[in-house]
Structure 1
């Protein structure tokens, strides 16, 4: 398995609450309903920022993290190249997130503590 973490940035004209509402209630179900999601995506999680912080730490510039699991990089490439992703998911992403400011990070998990 390979995991893609998308470090999310909301559109500047949306409040955090508007951004979360759209991401959770509109985008999540839309993403899950796509044929390409059902074919290639093994797991999709939205991580919403809590606003909590530890003293002396730097606050993140990101508004959340999307985690998407694929069997391998070939599955990720096929998903992002699919017509349903391009025609349905991208236009919705543009409705609530600043795609140019988001960062993508592909990783393999190494579990240290069960």
Structure 2
């Protein structure tokens, strides 16, 4: 799921990133179905300097300012997290602190490692 909201100021981006990384991540990770269904939850925070470098060499760069990657044994188990009553009651209202859900989109994708040398 990627957030396409483009904040107006760098200070807002910094506050949003801190909130998402610290408070929201802890809240989301505390939900029972998330603990049960997800193998991993990764946040990708935009790096403005790297984005500018990519633009400079001709790459189109997304206006999204963040992306969350959820991995589960099945897509149905991921979807169940977002349909869960506890998620809807606790997590969705918290997302209003940093996210415009109307400008988000989901991409169901299979990760295919091609080059994986973490050394």
Q: TM-score range by the shorter chain?
A: 0.7 to 0.9
- Quick one: distance in 2 between partners of 1:10 and 1:32? 23
Q: Which of these two proteins has the greater Rg computed from alpha carbons?
A: 2
Alignment check: 8 A CA contact 1:9 1:99 kept: no
Scaled by the length of structure 1, the TM-score of the pair is: 0.86
- Quick one: distance in 2 between partners of 1:110 and 1:31? 26
- Which has the larger share of helix? 2
Paired residues, what number?
109
- Quick one: distance in 2 between partners of 1:79 and 1:59? 30
Give RMSD over aligned pairs.
Answer: 1.7
Scaled by the length of structure 2, the TM-score of the pair is: 0.82
Give unmatched runs, 5+ long, in structure 2.
none
> How many angstroms does 1:9 deviate by?
3.2
Q: Which residue of 2 aligns with 1:29?
A: 26
Runs (4 or more) in structure 1 with deviation over 6 Å come to: none
